[in-house]
Chains A and B, each alone.
Chain A
C-alpha cells in the first residue's frame, strides 16, 4: 500500500466514525436508540440485513473458500430463501404486533421470564463468541498489510471498533451500511474485471471454466445423500434453512435490522430482497475465488499465502526446510504452467490426445506443488506458528495487494474495513441491547429513565467488545473463517430456534417444558460435535430435539398436574 491507499483508508475510516458520532449526538431516547426512527425503507433494510451478514469475513474468506474447495459452499445458502419467507410470513408480523425491542421479549410474552432469559442468554453466549471472529478477520488483513503481530493487531482493531460503536452508536452505522455495501460491490466487481484482464492471452472464459472444472472447482451442487459430506443440496436445503431461520429469525443482530422498518411491508420486502440476491451474491464471491485459482496456475503464488508467518519462521530453525520446500513448489509450478500452456495450445488446435496428455501432466505437477504446500503447513504447524491451519483466508488479500493498482487497493481495503466495522457495530449493539433489555431492565433495575438505559446499553456494548477481543486473542482456528462462523452458529442456533418454533406453532406447550427441553437439546448438540456428522445438521437436530422434548415434557407435566401451558397467545 502506498500513500494514496493509506489516505483513502484512514480518511474513510475517520469520516465514517465522525459521521456516526455527528448523527447520534445528544441522542438519549431509548426507543430511537434501540430501533432507530422506524422510518426505514425496504431497500435500506434489505441492504442493511445483507451488510450485517456479509461482513468482512464474507469478503475476505469466501474467495479463499472458492480457491480451495470450489463452488460447493454455495449450497450452504440454499435454505435461506425458504427461511426468509417463513420469517416474513410468520415471525415478523408477531414481532411487530407486540412492539418488542428484542426477539427474546416475545419468549417472555409467550412463555415466562426464565425462558426469555434462556433465549437471551444463549444469544449472548453464541454471538459474544462469534463477535470475536469478526474481530479476527480484519486483524488478518492488518497483520498481512502492516506486518504486525496478529495478537497486537486484534487488540488495536478491536479497540477501534469498540470505541467507534460506543461513541458513534448503531443508528449512524445502520444509515451508512447501504453506502458501505455499495462500496463493497464496486470493489468486488473491480477486482473481478482486473482478474479477467490479467488472465493469460488466449485463455478465453470457456477455457477458464474448463480448466477450473478439470481441477474440480466447479462442482456447485451435490445431490448425494451421504450425511458425512459437509455440503450437499440436502444439507444446504434442510440444515441451511434451519441455520438461516435461526440467524435471520431469532438473532437480535438481524431482528434489530428489520424491526426498524417503517411498516410491515417495508420489513417484508427487505427480507425478500435478501431471499432473491443472497445465493447469486455468494456464488459471485465464490466464482471470484475460483478465477483467482485459475490465475495462480499461470502466475506463481506464494507457497504459503500468510507470508508474514512464513517469513517469521523462515528466519528461525525451520528456515532451511521451508526454503527447500519453496524451491520444490517453484519447480512444480513452472512445470504445471508449461503443461497448461501446452494444454491450451492443444485445445485450440483440436488435438484431443495432446490435450489429454498435457492435462494429465499439469495435474501431476499441481499435485507435486500441493504436496510442497501441505508439507510447508506441517512444518509451520510443528514450529508452533499461530495461524497455520488454513491459509486460504489470505488468498484474496494477497491477490489484491500483489496485482491490483494503487488506489484500487485502498478502495478494496477500505471497503473491507467498512464492512467489518459496520457488521461489528451491529453485533455489539445487539449484544448491548439484549443485555440491557432482557437482563438489566427486566431483572436488575426496572423503571429507570431513558437516558439511564441508553447509558447502560453503551457500557454493556463496551463490555461485549472487550469479551470479543479476548475470544479473538485466544481462538486458534482450525477452519476457514467463514466456515468457523457457520459452525459456531450451528452449534448454538438449533435449540433457540426450537424455542421460537414451539412458541409460534405449539400453543399447548408451556414455559417449564420448553425451558428444560431447550437445555437438553443443547446438550445433545454438544455431544454431536464429537461425531462425524456435518455441522449443517446440528441446527436441524437441535431444533427437532427441542420440539420433541418439549412435547414429551409437556405430556409428563400434564399427567402429573404440576404445570401447564400459558393459554394466552400474542
Chain B
C-alpha cells in the first residue's frame, strides 16, 4: 500500500488534513481577537 504523500499527512488526531490545521489556527486567532476586543471595551 502506498504511503500518503509527505505534504498530506499531519499526524495530528482530529486534524488529519492541512486544511483543518489551518482552519484551527484561524479559529484560535478569531478567539484571541474576540477576547482582546472584550478587554478593550470593558476597560476603556
Residues of A participating in the B interface, judged by any CB pair closer than 8 Å: 71, 74, 78, 81-82, 84-85, 88-89, 93, 209-210, 212-214, 216, 218-222, 233, 263-265, 268-269, 272, 275-276, 279-280, 283
Contact = CB atoms under 8 A, between A and B. Distances in A.
Given A213-B42, A264-B6, A269-B10, A89 B36 contact: no
A275 B25 contact: yes
Given A85-B25, A275-B25, A268 B18 contact: yes
A283 B37 CA distance: 13
A510 B40 CA distance: 48
Given A78-B33, A214-B43, 15 more contacts: A71-B40, A85-B25, A89-B22, A212-B43, A218-B43, A218-B44, A219-B44, A263-B6, A264-B6, A264-B7, A265-B9, A269-B12, A276-B28, A279-B32, A283-B32
Contacts of A216: 44
A93 B21 contact: no
Interface of B: 6-7, 9-12, 18, 21-22, 25-26, 28-29, 32-33, 36-37, 39-40, 42-44
A213 B10 contact: no
A272 B29 CA distance: 12
Contacts of B37: 220-221
A424 B17 CA distance: 36
B3 to A, nearest CB: 12
Pairs A-B, 10 closest by C-beta atoms: A213-B43, A220-B36, A218-B43, A81-B29, A275-B25, A264-B6, A85-B22, A220-B40, A264-B7, A221-B40
Contacts of A82: 26
B21 to A, nearest CB: 6
Contacts of B21: 268, 272
Nearest to B41: A221
B32 A218 contact: no
Contacts, number: 71
Main secondary structure of the interface of A (DSSP, over half): helix
Nearest to B7: A264
A216 to B, nearest CB: 7
Nearest to B22: A85
Contacts of B40: 71, 218-222
A249 B37 CA distance: 29
A267 to B, nearest CB: 10
Contacts of A93: 7
Contacts of B26: 81-82, 85
Q: Which of B7, B28, B33, B43 has the most CB of A within 10 A?
A: B43
Given A78-B33, A81-B25, A220-B36, A213 B6 contact: no
